[in-house]
Structure 1
Amino acid sequence: MATEIELKLRLDPKTVRKLLAHPLLTSTPSSKQHLLNTYYDTPELDLRARRVAMRFRKKGWEWLLTVKSAEPASGGLAVRNEWETAAVPGVFDFAHVDAAELRHFLEQHRDRLEPAFTTDFRRQAWLLPCGESLIEMALDRGHIAARGRREAICEVELELVSGRIEDIFALTRQLQAQINLHPAVASKAERGYRLYLDEPSQAFRAKPLPINARQTPVAAFRTIALGCLEHFQRNEEGLLAGGEAEFIHQARVALRRLRSAIKLFAPALPEDFVAAYGRSWQTLAGALGDARNWDVFLEETLPPIHAAFPHNHDLHRLRNEARRRVKSARHAIKHLLALKEYPRLMVEFTAAVHALTDTVDIPLKRFADERIAAHTRSVRKMAEQYDTLDPEQRHIMRLRFKKLRYAMEFMTPLLPTRGMKTYLNTLAKLQETLGLINDQVTAELLIHEALGQKSATAAHGWVAGRHELLVGQVPELLVAWLKSGPDRH
């Protein structure tokens, strides 16, 4: 078994010539190959469900059988297990797979394997020394084909032949200095399956993150941070395609979770890392927040008001203005993603996360307990004084509840199970209500922003009534949360 460490970068086909003119490449001989790959799976796609990719590759006169674990990538960097051997096309011999359980799984399904999709591309490759490492850079251009559908391939892969992961990022920086190369998370196999199934792009939600008590706090942070980054990147395609509301929502949640993770683990992280990357995402997060606010206003807040007052002229103007603001907010996001600074931030952040080393000698379980306890004490104190809080303080309380919930979600594998489901459900319901209250406060601001001093009495009245109703529910929810806290079990 080999471990493949690879950084995938997509580029605009129009910029290929500029890439080929880079001094690093013009001064290094290259090789060229035509690679034809056929990926196999069962009719029910059992391999895909197991996160395994299996292909026959025609490489010149040679045929290779390759099995890969389809581990997710973050920031474009993927670390995958790979088994490859010379083979006869159509003969499924998995003797070279030295992971017994995986080999048994493949052999169980051998008789049902059939072609799913192909990738056909030409590869130009260079072996580039970088620091203490040797890196193979491959430029792939061609297409993926499945069931009569085709999708173009134009990407760069940087694979670590020997040396250190950090040198892959150093090489990427040198290339990005002259050309816009964008980290990509979807492998050719993943894209092939999507084409095979004719799946539309769907918003990607956060997944449970595989942390465990054997990790150090820094190792756990690395897992969480890269998971948040993947969460964001997998919604990027939807943002660039026009930014439907759920793509924007999930991308915003991803950045919120990432920033919360940095703050949560700050005591275990270098101060310069926290200072640099705790703020690096603010501009993009702000644009996503603005777009999300207008989406909620247009799709959730305004429709029942408009239904109640269908002939109100102010509401017609308000809806038209909200639509214009939604379109403008989406354009602002696409503009930020198109800036060369964005892919560079992705690379720099991913490199910085991988470069982190342990700075505190404390078991992860104890670290998690202490941090969650600190978050709980902070928000509990405000919850117990809720009746005396002013609107700004209640807003702060809402944000602290959100951070607490993210912390609990991150650390779920380390938490006791007794009473935790009830506690998390109570926390989620409370946070949802506080979020709806914030939506009404934001709606008041958006109405004023959209219409200025012009009248919108129906909208103001409706929002105020909804706000009052929700606020009245909070004390009971706070009492339920205070009674169900983890220290109560």
Structure 2
Amino acid sequence: MATETEIKLSLSARTASALAKQAMLSNIERRRQLLINTYYDTHDKRLRRERMVVRHRQKGRQWLLTVKTAPMLTAGLAQRSEWEVHSRPGEFDFSHLDGSVRELLESLRESLQPAFTTHFMRHTWLLEPRAGVRIELALDRGWIEARGQRQTIREIELELLDGTVSDLFAVAAELQASLPLHPAASSKAERAYRLLDDLPLTAVKALPVPTDAAMSSIEAFRLIALSCLNHLQYNEAGVCQSDEPEFVHQARVAIRRLRSAMRLWQSRLPENFVTRFDPLWQELANKLGETRNWDVFIAETLPALADALPGRVEVERLSSHALRRCANSRQASRSALKSVAYSRLLIDFSAATQALPDDAAGSLAHFVPRCLNKRARRVQERAAAALGTDDDAARHRLRVAFKQLRYAVEFFTPILAGPLLANYHQSASDLQDLLGRLNDLAVASQLAADAPTAGQGQGIADWLAAQTDSLLPEFAKRLNDFQQQPVPWKAG
């Protein structure tokens, strides 16, 4: 078994044509090879569920049987186990595999059938940026074929042959300095399965993070931060190609979770890590946030206003204004995710996260209670300021503190698992939902006040204020319920 470590980068046709002219490739021999691959799975796609790949590759007159694990890409980086042997098409010899992988594939051998193919021309260069480092740069251009349909392949793979992951990211960053390259969000096989199943784009929510009490705190941070990047990147295409609001919402949630994690670990991260990256993530979040505000305003506030104030011209004018502003802000969100700056941020942040020094200050189990106690105290302080007041800003500050606490609890759920967790989490969810509704009303009031028709819209302002007032008793009740919940961690 070998461990394959590579970074995948997508690029335009124009950039692909310009690649060979890059200075780092001058005086390096280029090799060219046609690769035809047939991927196999069972009728019910068992291998896909197990996140494994089995394929036959035709490489000239040579045939290779390859088995890989198939982890999600993070900023284009994949690290996976790989087994490869000479073979003949249609033959499956799994005798060289390890343990459970061999056992699974042996049990499925008779059920394996062709699922899809890839066909591409590969141009390769062997890079040796410093002594002891070898990296293969491969440019692949061709297509995926599944269900009689084709999808273009055009990507760079940087495979680490000798050296460190930091060396691999350094080459990716050097290429990005002169070429618009974007870290791939999915592998060829993942894209092929989507084509095979004819799946529409759907928004992806955050997946549970498998933290463990025996991890060091930095190991846990790395796992959480990279899972947030996955969450963000799995919603990129939807933000750029769809008007469905949930894509923007989930991309925003991913960044919010990432920034919360950076604050949780700030005392254990290198001094310049948060100061360097947090403003960049905040800038991106703000662009997505404007789109999200208009999406909520159009989907939830305007229909309620139209019902409450039927036939009012100021509501119609506000609606037209909102639709224009939403379209403009959505275009700005798309431009942000298509920008060179965003592509570089993904690589730079992922490289810096991978390179974080190991934490010698004890296990995650020691870090969790201190961290959660601090967040819980902040919620209590801000709750006292937000209760019994008409201050939208105070409730917003409570909402921010509460989100940071809730995200921390979710990050550490595998460690906190116990009888108290379900009630605590449900109470937290109920309170956060209500804080979200109050915040949406506060934002709606500001958006309406800033609209060109604001001077004609006192009825709108009064209605929004009344909606807020109607929720305050429930807010007090849910906050009290949450404060009565025993914490699902040792609070000492």
Tell me the SS of whatever aligns to 1:135: strand
Q: Deviations over 1:56-101 (max 9, x none)?
A: 1101111111111110111111111111111111112211211x11
Q: Which moved more, 1:303-312 or 1:247-256?
A: 303-312
Q: Deviations over 1:445-475 (max 9, x none)?
A: 1111223533124432332222111122111
Q: Note the C-alpha offset of 1:187.
A: 0.4
Task: Output aligned runs, 1:203-352, within 5 Å.
Answer: 203-352=203-352
Take 2:385 and 2:182, find their aligned partners in 1: how far apart are those partners?
Answer: 48
Q: Which residue of 1 aligns with 2:153?
A: 153
RMSD: 1.5
Take 2:180 and 2:264, find their aligned partners in 1: how far apart are those partners?
Answer: 33
Q: Note the C-alpha offset of 1:26.
A: 2.7
Q: Which residue of 2 aligns with 1:417?
A: 418
Task: Output aligned runs, 1:362-373, within 5 Å.
Answer: 362-373=362-373
Q: Which moved more, 1:215-224 or 1:383-392?
A: 383-392
In structure 2, relative to structure 1, the CA distance for the partners of 1:176 and 1:478 (3 Å cut) is same
- Are the aligned partners of 1:305 and 1:458 in contact in 2 as well (CA < 8 Å)? no
Q: Which residue of 2 aligns with 1:441?
A: 442
Take 1:447 and 1:276, find their aligned partners in 2: how far apart are those partners?
Answer: 35
Take 2:488 and 2:368, find their aligned partners in 1: how far apart are those partners?
Answer: 14
Tell me the SS of whatever aligns to 1:36: strand
Task: Output aligned runs, 1:7-18, within 5 Å.
Answer: 7-18=7-18
| Percent pairwise identity | 43
Take 1:126 and 1:107, find their aligned partners in 2: how far apart are those partners?
Answer: 36
Task: Output aligned runs, 1:359-438, within 5 Å.
Answer: 359-384=359-384, 386-387=386-387, 390-438=391-439
In structure 2, relative to structure 1, the CA distance for the partners of 1:363 and 1:245 (3 Å cut) is same
Take 1:396 and 1:308, find their aligned partners in 2: how far apart are those partners?
Answer: 30
Q: Note the C-alpha offset of 1:393.
A: 2.2
Aligned residue type for 2:210:
P
Q: Which residue of 1 aligns with 2:168?
A: 168
Aligned residue type for 1:277:
F
Q: Which moved more, 1:459-468 or 1:19-28?
A: 459-468
Q: Which residue of 1 aligns with 2:134?
A: 134
Q: Which moved more, 1:221-230 or 1:362-371?
A: 362-371
Q: Deviations over 1:416-464 (max 9, x none)?
A: 4121100011011101101100000000011112235331244323322
Unaligned segments of structure 2, at least 5 residues:
none
Q: Deviations over 1:77-132 (max 9, x none)?
A: 1111111111111112211211x112111111111111111100000001101234
Take 1:312 and 1:385, find their aligned partners in 2: how far apart are those partners?
Answer: 37
Tell me the SS of whatever aligns to 1:278: helix
Take 1:487 and 1:248, find their aligned partners in 2: how far apart are those partners?
Answer: 32
Tell me the SS of whatever aligns to 1:130: coil
- Are the aligned partners of 1:288 and 1:333 in contact in 2 as well (CA < 8 Å)? yes
Aligned residue type for 2:128:
P
Q: Which residue of 2 aligns with 1:178?
A: 178
Task: Output aligned runs, 1:466-477, within 5 Å.
Answer: 466-477=467-478
Q: Which residue of 2 aligns with 1:486?
A: 487
In structure 2, relative to structure 1, the CA distance for the partners of 1:4 and 1:487 (3 Å cut) is closer
Aligned length: 488
Take 1:445 and 1:352, find their aligned partners in 2: how far apart are those partners?
Answer: 38
In structure 2, relative to structure 1, the CA distance for the partners of 1:253 and 1:487 (3 Å cut) is closer
Tell me the SS of whatever aligns to 1:407: helix
Query: Which aligned runs of 4 or more in structure 1 are off by greater than 6 angstroms?
Result: none
Unaligned segments of structure 1, at least 5 residues:
none
Tell me the SS of whatever aligns to 2:116: strand
Q: Which residue of 2 aligns with 1:105?
A: 104
Take 1:377 and 1:25, find their aligned partners in 2: how far apart are those partners?
Answer: 56
Take 1:241 and 1:231, find their aligned partners in 2: how far apart are those partners?
Answer: 17
Q: Which moved more, 1:466-475 or 1:188-197?
A: 466-475
- Are the aligned partners of 1:268 and 1:360 in contact in 2 as well (CA < 8 Å)? no
Q: Which residue of 2 aligns with 1:125?
A: 124
Aligned residue type for 2:361:
D
Aligned residue type for 2:109:
R
